[in-house]
Amino acid sequence: MDTGTSIRKPVRRLLVFALGIFAAAMLLPAVASAAPTHFTKVYKVEKHIDLNGGQYMHEHVYCEPGDYAIDGMWRVDNVDQANPQIGVFGDMRDVTVTRSYNDLQQGGDGAKWHFELTNNADGRAQVKLFANCLGQKTVENSHQHKIKVRPLKETAWFPGSDFSSASLSCIPGKEVAVAPGFKLLTGGNVWEKSFYPGNPLSSSWNWNFVVSSPSSIEVSVLCLRLRTGWTWGHAHKLRVYLKPGYWPLGARTLKKDKVQEKRVACYDGSRAIVGVLGIAPSYHGYIHFLGMDPRPKSRAYKFWNTDPFNDLPIYLGALCLDIRTGPPFP
C-alpha cells in the first residue's frame, strides 16, 4: 500500500528550509540588539627625526588609510649641548614648530598630519612626531557604523608678540572640537603656549601663541559628530568628556629651574584623544612647552620652567573618548 511517505518527506524538508530562511531574516534586527554597543578604534603613530643646527624640516605622519588623525604633536627630546667657547649656542627652546595640522584642512587626506619645524640652535636636535588616530568606522561587530568629522578653520592676525586667537566653534551638544592645528602664513618664529576648549562642552577651541614678529596664523579643528552614522536602522552616541574638567580644574605646578614631565590620564574604559594645555600669559617668558607624547590612555607633557626662583602654575587636561559607543537608538 502506498503510504505517501516518499512524497511527504521532500515537502517536509522544503518546509523546514523555508522556515530557516524566514527565521534568519527575522534574526537580523536581533543581531544588532545582541551587540548593543561597538568599540571605537583609537591608536597612535610616531616618527623620529634629527635636525642639524639651523635645519628646516617638512614632515608628515600617517594614520591607517581612511582613518582620522585627530591630534598631532611633537616632543623635543634633546638638543646637543651648547658650548659658547667654540660658538655653539641654543637649546631645546630653540626648536620652533611653525605648522601642525590635519591635512584635511587643505582638502587633503584626513589620515595625514602635517608638520613644519626649524632647529634654530647650533647643535643637532632629536624630535619625535606623533599622530593620535581614530578609526573612520567602529570596530566590526556583526556590522559597523561610520564616524563623522568635518573640517573648520579661520585665519587669526597677531599684531604683537603675545596674542590669543578667536575661538573656533563646532555645534554645541552635537559636536566636539578635535584635531586642533595651526599654520603660520606670514611672520617669523611662533611658539604655541596654550590650546584648550573654549567652553565646558568642548565644542569650541582656543589657542595662545608667542610670535617673534607680527604674524597671521590659520587655526583649525575637526568637528567630531557625537553620533555615529546609521546602520540597520539605528545609530549610537559617542561619549566625550574633559578630564579632569574645565578651568580651573586641572591646575598643576611646575618646579623651578627644571625640565619635567606632567601627565593627565582618562578614566578606565576611555582613551585620551586630544591634549589640553593652558599657560597664563604672565608666565610665557619662563614656561617653555617642549611637546607632548599622546599615549592612548593619557597625555605626557614636557616643560622647562626656567624661572630660577619660583614654581609656576599651569592647566592640563585631555579630551577622553569612551572606548565603547552608547546603546543603539531609536
CATH at residue 279: 2.60.120.690
- The predicted model scores a pTM of 0.87
Q: Are residues 6 and 153 in the same domain?
A: no
What is the model's pLDDT at position 312? Answer: 98
Q: Are residues 81 and 204 in the same domain?
A: yes
Q: Are residues 16 and 85 in the same domain?
A: no
Q: Are residues 29 and 43 in the same domain?
A: no
Mean pLDDT on 292-318: 96
Give dist(CA 11, CA 149) in Å, integer: 54
Q: Identify whether 329 is part of a domain.
A: no
Q: Identify whether 330 is part of a domain.
A: no
Exposure class string for 301-323: b at 16+ Cβ within 10 A, else e: bbbbbbbeeeebebbbbbbbbbb
Q: Are residues 113 and 242 in the same domain?
A: yes
What is the model's pLDDT at position 295? Answer: 86
Residue numbers of the domain that contains 210: 35-322
Q: Identify whether 301 is part of a domain.
A: yes
What is the model's pLDDT at position 29? Answer: 47
The C-alpha cell that represents 126 in the structure block: 632629536
Query: By C-alpha distance, which of 95, 113, 114, 301 is closest to 195?
Result: 301
Q: Are residues 30 and 79 in the same domain?
A: no
223 and 170 in contact (C-beta within 8 Å)? yes
Q: Are residues 89 and 122 in the same domain?
A: yes
190 strand-pairing partners: 211
| Residue of higher predicted confidence among 15 and 157 | 157
Entry field: residues in the chain: 330
Q: Identify whether 211 is part of a domain.
A: yes
Residue whose entry in the numeric block shows the C-alpha cell 640652535: 121
**Domain tally, the chain:** 2
Give dist(CA 131, CA 116) in Å, integer: 14
Q: Are residues 27 and 153 in the same domain?
A: no
Cα 203-209-212 angle, rounded to 5 deg:
160
Q: Identify whether 14 is part of a domain.
A: yes
Query: By C-alpha distance, which of 120, 131, 54 is closest to 92?
Result: 120
What sign has the CA pseudo-torsion 108, 150, 298, 281? positive
* Percentages (nearest 5) of helix, strand, coil residues in the chain: 15, 50, 35
Mean pLDDT on 38-46: 97
> How large a percentage of the chain has pLDDT more than 70?
89
Judged against a pLDDT cut of 70, whether residue 76 lies above it is answered with yes
Q: Are residues 5 and 101 in the same domain?
A: no
- Say which range, 21-30, 42-51, 254-263, has the weakest mean pLDDT: 21-30
> How large a percentage of the chain has pLDDT more than 90?
79
Question: pLDDT by residue (tens digit) across 184-216?
Answer: 999 999 999 999 999 989 999 999 999 999 999
The C-alpha cell that represents 38 in the structure block: 561597538
The DSSP element (H or E) to which 275 belongs, if any, is strand 270-278
- Say which range, 16-25, 212-221, 226-235, 277-286, has the weakest mean pLDDT: 16-25
Q: Are residues 137 and 169 in the same domain?
A: yes
Q: Identify whether 328 is part of a domain.
A: no
What is the model's pLDDT at position 201? Answer: 92
Mean pLDDT on 3-29: 43
Q: Identify whether 327 is part of a domain.
A: no
What is the model's pLDDT at position 249? Answer: 87
| Residue of higher predicted confidence among 46 and 12 | 46
What is the model's pLDDT at position 35? Answer: 53
Q: Are residues 126 and 9 in the same domain?
A: no
- Tell me the C-alpha to C-alpha distance, in Å, between residue 185 and each of 12, 70, 139, 182, 188: 76, 22, 38, 9, 9
What is the model's pLDDT at position 88? Answer: 84
Mean pLDDT for the chain?
89
Question: pLDDT by residue (tens digit) across 244-302?
Answer: 988 778 999 999 999 999 999 999 999 999 999 999 999 999 999 999 999 889 999 99
Largest separation between any pair of C-alpha atoms in the chain: 117
Mean pLDDT on 97-101: 97
- Tell me the C-alpha to C-alpha distance, in Å, between residue 285 and each of 104, 209, 289, 298, 303: 33, 12, 11, 27, 13
Q: Identify whether 151 is part of a domain.
A: yes
Residue 325: burial class (beta carbons within 10 Å; 0-12, 13-18, 19+): buried
What is the model's pLDDT at position 8? Answer: 47
Residues with Cβ within 8 Å of 49's Cβ and at least 6 positions away in sequence, in order, are: 57, 59, 126, 127, 128, 129
Side chain identity at 83, as an amino acid letter?
N
The C-alpha cell that represents 29 in the structure block: 534586527
What is the model's pLDDT at position 276? Answer: 96
Judged against a pLDDT cut of 70, whether residue 4 lies above it is answered with no
Q: Are residues 18 and 39 in the same domain?
A: no
| Residue of higher predicted confidence among 27 and 67 | 67
